[in-house]
Every structure is written in C-alpha cells, then in structure tokens.
Amino acid sequence: MPAPQQRTLSPSIPDSWFYALVAAGLVLNATGLFPPIQEPDGALYANIAKVMAQSGDFVNLYAVGTDWLDKPHFPFWVTAVSFRIFGVNTVGYKLPALLFFAASVGYTYRFTRSVYPKIVAQVATLVLLTAFHGVLSNFDVRAEPYLMGLIMGAVYHFWRVYAGDSGEGRAPVLTAPVHLLLGSLLTGCALMTKGVFVLVPIGAGLVFHWLVTGQWRELLKLRWYVAVALSFLFTAPEIYCLYQQFDLHPEKVIFGDTGVSGVRFFFWDSQFGRFFNTGPIKGAGDKFFFFHTLLWAFLPWSLPFYAGVGRSIAGLVKRQHPAPEYVSLGAGLATFALFSLSAFQLPHYMNIVFPFFAILTARFLVSLSPVALRWWTLGQTVLGVVLMALSIGLLYIVQPDQSALAMGWVGAVTLLIFLLFRGSTLLTLAGRMVGTMLVLAGVLNLFIYPTLMPYQAGMTAAHYANEQPGSAQRPTLLYMPGVGVGGGSYWTYEFYANHPTRYVRSDSALRHQLQRGPQPVFTSAEEADSLAARHFSVRTVAVFPYYHVSKLSYDFLNRDSRARTLSPYVLVSIGDEGN
C-alpha cells in the first residue's frame, strides 16, 4: 500500500482560483486549434485521416497515394471520426488531440490527489497545463497529446487496482476489475498509437514503486498478467489491419523491399528498429539530447523540475523522507533513459511523461519552506518577465499584421497577473506562470504563426485553387518525382484542396495523365522549369512563396529579410508537346 501522505507546508489553492487558472490553462492550449496544420508531419497525418474519412476504409493507411507503414492506426481512426463529424478542416484535425490532452490533465489530478495532499494535485495540474512543449503540441499535433491521455489514464487505473479506492481524496469507488479493464483498454489504445515502447512509461513506474517499497511480490500477482494479456487483446484491431494490408500482400513494395510484414514492423521495427538503428527508419542519437532539450521544452518549470528530480533521487539514495509514491519518478526516469539511449530522438518524444514530470515538480514546490518559496517565486517571476520580453521581441521582429492588438494582449495579460498575484505563495507562483504562458501562447498562436503559415505554399495554393471557377470538378496533379512519402509543401495542398488531387512521381506517369489534355499541376518552380526543359508545355498560373515553417530562422522571422529565405512553388497548366 502507499506510504503515508507527505506533510505539506502550504494550504491548498482556493477552488475558485484553481478553476480559473485551469480554465486559463485550457484556453492557452486551445489557441493552438486555430493556426493551420503545420508541415511536414502534421499535414501528412491529417491527409492519412482525410483519405480514411472520405473513403470509409478504416483498415488501410495510405499516404501520397500508396500504402503507408510507419505509425499505428488509433490516432487516424479518432481523427477520421472527427472529420466525419466536424468536416475535413483544421479544427477537425486538432480538436481530438486537445481532448486527449485535457484527459491527461484530468488523470494527472486524479492520480496525484489519490496519493498527495490537494495542493500537490493542484500545482501538478497547472504545471502540466503550461509546460511549453505540451502547449506547442496542441498546435503542431502529432501522436503525443493522444499518448499523454492514454498513458496517464492507464497508470491511474492500474494504480487504483493496486492501491484500492478507500481514503481521503480518492476517486469515486470503482471495483478493481473495472479499473483493470479500463487500464488495459487505454494501454491497448496507446499501443495502437505508438507501439510497444509505451509499456515502459505505463509499467516502469509501477514496478519501480513496488521494488523501492519492498513490495516485489506484487509482480507475482495474476492480475498484472491478466492486464498484459488484455492490453494486447485490445490491440487486435491493429494487428488485423496490418495483416490485411501488408502480410497478406508480400508483393507490395514497402521501404524499397517486398515481403514486408506489417505485424513484425509493429512489434519490432517501428520501435526496436529505431532504438537499435537497425530498422528502415534511422536516426543519429545524442545521449545528452533530452538533458538540454527539457531546459526549453518544459519551460517555465524546467529548473524546479530538475531540482525536484534531484531531491527525489537524493532522498531515495539516502533513504530519507520516503515519498507516497515512486511511480512518477520511475516512469519519468525509465522513459528518459530509454529515449536518451535511442538512436532516434525528437524533442516532442518526452511529452508523453510530462504528467509525471509535473507531479515531481509540484511535489518539490509544495515542500519548500516559506523562505525558499519566496526565492523560487522571485526566480520564476524573473523567468516569466524574460519570456514576456521574448514575446515582445518576436512581435517586433516578425511584425504581424495585427501588431497593435498583439501588444495590447501582452500588456493586458501582464498587468492583470501582476495585479492579481502578489506575495510569495504557490498561488502567486502558479498564477504568474499561467499568465506568462498565456502571453507566450497567445503571441505565437494568435499572431506569429498566422503571419508565417501562409508561407506553406501548398496550403496557400490550395486556397487559391479552391476559389477558381470549376475547381471542384478538376483534379490537380501533384508532381513530386521520386519514391517514398517525399516532403516539401505538397501535403498541405492535398489537405486543404476541396477538389481531388493525384500524385505523379515520374515523367511517364505525368505523360499518361496528359493524354486527356493539359492538366493543372502543383509543383516547385525548379521542377516546373525542369519539365519545360524536357519538352513539356508549361504555363504558369500562379506563384506561391515557400518556407519550411517548422524550421524557423532569424532571417525568415525578420520581416525585412524574409524575402531572401523564400523559394517558389507554382500552380501551372502542363501539356505534352509530343501530343
């Protein structure tokens, strides 16, 4: 059973203030709903779900007009259903992810409240709502918001199986079998979102807790083996789909080879292949990548997080001040180590354990003495001022069209938080950080990105083509020579176009399409010039400036130097001079 609750030095945040700050936190994350879908990954995933929703085929995954084997189905199923309800649009793509993120916040509160005093649960909730890369992931949506909700939900329900439902602050009573079933279902959905490595953040924390507290016999209980079996049973839809699309068709060319097993890829190559760098998708790992990445990804809480982890490890080594639970420390450290040792690393990978990081951070802040809390409040306030100054600097450099409104937003929120949150309490600290991130998220999502996203040439060209008479009946050819899923700005054209699109990957395929006469084609200006040099008839309809918006540079951000960073894409009419 859990250790006795740790003594808190701070009273809980009044409910009215807590709910207001949670609402503000949800609003700052919801600002990510409105900027367009970002290239490349977000647009690729959105197109896969779009094809699924429009075709009604929920078994096969297609990208760039061909079979696609990389990520499992679950997020695409959810997004396709959202498209069926809300239409194929930006909000339809991003809203499900935001709801799963909100579920992770709710589960974080529930888990923390079942173990710690109320103040720890409140602070952990606000930390999770305002961690920078969590906010960013609700704008540039991939799999991580889904995983946050699924993983934290699974851990909560499995903890309830282990710890029971009795005690102050615990969740409404559910029987252990119901918790076991729900935990297994969420684990199965997590497996169908990312693969077998999700078992590490779900299981490592529980196992670590049992070992540290001397309850290793918990590992011998039948219920946990039932949970593992149920979790894999719930992945049966994924296995069925992969078997149908790939294993039954060894003649398909996948990753440049035939005889590729989708089931094997799911269980091995998609995760272990990346970890050992032996799979078809490779990377170059840096063992210290996440140490420095978290310094900015977990802003504004990265310093108290590192301090909290250090204190937790020191207390564990010295066997002092036993914690009520070691799930958060175990899950966080195990996942951190796993990803650090992996050969394939990206900043958003660590988002899935942000709920555990938030709990560790909150536990540290709540344990501070009044003097220490005063110093931490001062330090975090200075950091908040720096982030607000950075927001203002971005506005000055980018010069969005609504600069005056943006500056008004910054000024109003800044004035409000310093008027409302005074002193050196946890309410003050949390309120100022929520306000800081409301400024930063508002500036980025409401002003900066709306200014920059039109430089996704495919999206802008699709909007232009949608407005042309008769465009709904005429397909656009997307000329992208080569193999694989490619890149560039084709995916946003495919997603935002209201008319059919068709990928063309070679000159012979293009000539085949031109047998019916000249066709509208979207491609890069360089490719259009090369087609003209190869005796195609090319007539330019419109030109669209392009920049890889997910890789921002100072020259691109700076309005005065932006033009020299751009390259053109074109919408052209192409015919075959040989006909």
Residue-by-residue DSSP string for 108-159? HHHHHHTTS-HHHHHHHHHHHHH-HHHHHHTTS-SSHHHHHHHHHHHHHHHH
Sequence-ordered list of residues with C-beta below 8 angstroms from that of 305, at least 6 positions apart, any chain:
294, 298, 357, 360, 361, 364
Output helix, strand, coil percentages for the chain, rounded to the nearest 5: 65, 5, 30
Which residues does the chain have with pLDDT short of 70? Answer: 1-9, 165-173, 272-286, 343-346, 472, 577-579
* pLDDT on residue 466: 93
Q: What is residue 281's predicted lDDT score, i.e. its pLDDT?
A: 56
Average model confidence (pLDDT) across the chain: 90
**Pair type for strands 567-576 and 62-63:** unpaired
Q: Kindly report, residue by residue over 147-197, the tens digit of the pLDDT.
A: 999 999 999 999 999 988 543 344 456 788 999 999 999 999 999 999 999
DSSP characters for 334-393? Answer: HHHHHHHHSS---GGGGGGGHHHHHHHHHHHHHT--HHHHHHHHHHHHHHHHHHHHHHHH
Fold classification of 457-576 is D-Maltodextrin-Binding Protein; domain 2 (3.40.190)
Within 421-553, residue ranges assigned H as helices are 426-442, 449-452, 457-466, 490-496, 507-513, 525-533
DSSP 8-state code for residue 502: E
* Whole-number pLDDT of residue 277: 56
State residue 345's pLDDT score: 63
- What would you report as the CA-atom Rg of the chain, rounded to the nearest whole angstrom? 26
Integer Cα distance of 217 and 407 in angstroms: 59
pLDDT for res 487: 81
Determine the pLDDT at residue 579: 53
Question: pTM of the predicted model, to two decimals?
Answer: 0.93
| Edge-to-edge strand ranges of the sheet holding 476-479 | 501-504, 476-479, 519-524, 567-576, 536-546
- d(CA 142, CA 79) in angstroms, rounded, equals 11
Gap between the Cα atoms of 348 and 341, Å rounded: 16
398-415 tens-digit pLDDT: 999 889 999 999 999 999
The most distant pair of C-alpha atoms in the chain lies apart, rounded to whole Å, by 84
- Given this model, what pLDDT does residue 45 score? 97
Spacing of C-alpha 317 from chain mean position? 34
End-to-end CA distance of the chain: 80
Q: Which helix (H) or strand (E) holds 519?
A: strand 519-524
Cα–Cα distance measured from residue 126 to residue 109, given in angstroms and rounded to the nearest whole number: 10
Give the pLDDT confidence score for residue 168 in this predicted structure.
Answer: 39
Each residue of 183-218: pLDDT tens digit? Answer: 999 999 999 999 999 999 999 999 999 999 999 999
Report the candidate in 29, 15, 11, 24 with the shortest Cα–Cα distance to residue 431.
24
Q: What is the reported pLDDT for 1?
A: 40
Within 13 Å, how many C-alpha atoms sit on residue 560's CB side? 2
**For residue 320, what are its two tokens?**
């002092």
* Contact partners, residue 145, CB within 8 Å, separation at least 6: 97, 98, 100, 101, 104, 137, 138, 351
- Report the pLDDT value the prediction gives residue 253, as an integer from 0 to 100: 87
